[in-house]
A = this chain, B = another copy of it.
């Protein structure tokens, strides 16, 4: 990791985690519910989505106190999706990031409700921001709803579920990922542009960059399941192969997946070049994502 990115992460990751903590603490809600919400929010993770929002603002040289709050709402949506994903009726995972999953600690009912509370809170927090115009808040809400809902993340989870046990084509697999993980990752990047009131040209470049880096992220995830160790990943490695899951390597071979990864990476960087953002944090994060070991 470059020292630029390292400094950026070391500065902002703790700020994101403090803010997440505060946003739950100040809720006037049953303490058991708050504990369940905070537990999964504080269970670590790379915080790639909120970091992306902040990175875009830094690259566009715009400061806005609300940016970190918006960043946190995206982490809330991501976290709620993990809590529901891990449920016995879904992926039935006991372990997430090396820790017991939410329903293992708090029971299934509270896990469902903690997820429900997180998604609902995310939208409320955006509505209550002080340093954005009403139009910007509406735009964020609109895009976040698309990214997180039936036409984005939730839809992708359904496609993923329906595709289990079937052989998907490359384009079908891509559709799963563009929705399941790509849409929210993309939103985290676009949110930076919306907060910065960026012009159309920049928004388009961010959109293209986000699309390709989202796919690259997923391809690397699939590669790591084969090449990584359980210890590095904080979850069981090799699970995809065992469960005969549709992945980039299963469709394209491992070498083909690596080639596809490189292709998506190149397209992402090309998009940055159109608006002269090809140096700096957005490049560094792209490098990090495609070379990470967890």
Using Cβ atoms and an 8 Å threshold, which residues of chain B touch A133?
Answer: 134
Which residue from B117, B144, B161 sits with its C-beta under 8 Å from A150? B117
| Closest B residue, CB atoms, query A29 | B150
Q: CB of A149 within 8 A of chain B?
A: yes
A242 in the interface, Cβ–Cβ < 8 Å?
A: no
- Shortest beta-carbon distance, A261 to chain B, in Å? 27
Residue interface mask A220-237, B partner, CB < 8 A = 1: 000000000000000000
Residue A119 at the B interface, CB < 8 A? Answer: yes
Tell me the minimal C-beta distance from A188 to chain B in angstroms: 16
Q: Provide the residues of chain B in CB contact with A108, threshold 8 Å.
A: 89
Q: Are B137 and A32 in contact (CB under 8 A)?
A: no
Q: Quick check: A89 and B116 within 8 Å, CB to CB?
A: no
A84 to B87, CA, bound (A): 13
Copies of this chain per assembly: 2
A15 contacts the other chain (Cβ, under 8 Å)? no
Complex: A154 Cα to B28 Cα, angstroms: 12
Determine the distance from Cα of A135 to Cα of B133 in the docked complex, in whole angstroms. 9
Cα distance, A120 to B80, chains bound together (Å): 12
* CB nearest neighbor in B for A146: B124
Q: Chain B residues near A14 (CB, 8 Å)?
A: none
Binary B-proximity of A101-130 (CB < 8 A = 1, otherwise 0): 000000111101101110111011111100
A120 to B119 CA separation, bound complex (whole angstroms) = 7
- Quick check: B33 and A116 within 8 Å, CB to CB? no
Decide: A112 and B134 in contact? CB cutoff 8 A: no
Q: B32–A158 contact, CB under 8 A?
A: yes
Residue of chain B at shortest CB distance from A110:
B158
Q: How far is the CB of A155 from chain B (nearest CB, A)?
A: 4
Contacts of A159 in B (CB 8 A): 30
Does any Cβ of B come within 8 Å of A67's Cβ? no
Contact B113 A116 (CB under 8 A): no
A262 to B89, CA, bound (A): 44
By the criterion CB–CB under 8 Å, are A154 and B113 in contact? Answer: yes
- Pick the 4 closest A-B CB pairs, nearest first: A124-B145, A89-B108, A120-B149, A134-B134
B112 touches A112 (CB 8 A): yes
Beyond the given pairs A112-B112, A133-B134, 19 more chain A to chain B contacts, judged by CB atoms under 8 angstroms and listed by A's residue number, are A29-B158, A30-B150, A80-B116, A84-B112, A87-B112, A89-B112, A113-B157, A117-B154, A117-B155, A120-B150, A120-B154, A121-B149, A121-B150, A123-B141, A123-B144, A127-B138, A127-B141, A134-B134, A138-B138
